[in-house]
Amino acid sequence: MADPVLLDTKGLRCPLPVLKARKALKDLAAGTVLRVLATDPGAVKDFEAFCRTTGHRLLAQSEDAGVLAFDIEKVD
């Protein structure tokens, strides 16, 4: 499996992390994993809703020292 594509949205507030992720996913091939880093606590619910509505798969989410990480697999 290839390394995920990294998108750093730390310091950005809702809705910017999701909007930047949406834009980044458009340029990726199906099956590619995008790892989004964020510091906005609202990003947890935002990315869950984003994946539910777009059909992309939220493979994992974690938090380390205030930095949230979301692994999203692009689905066509």
Q: Is the peptide bond before 17 cis (omega within 30 degrees of 0)?
A: no
**Residue 14 catalytic?**
yes
Q: Which amino acid is at 70?
A: F
Among 14, 19, 37, 59, the one annotated catalytic: 14
User: How many residues can be counted in the chain?
Assistant: 76
Taking the mean position of all CA atoms in its chain, how far away is CA 14? 13
d(CA 31, CA 29): 6
Just list the catalytic residues: 14
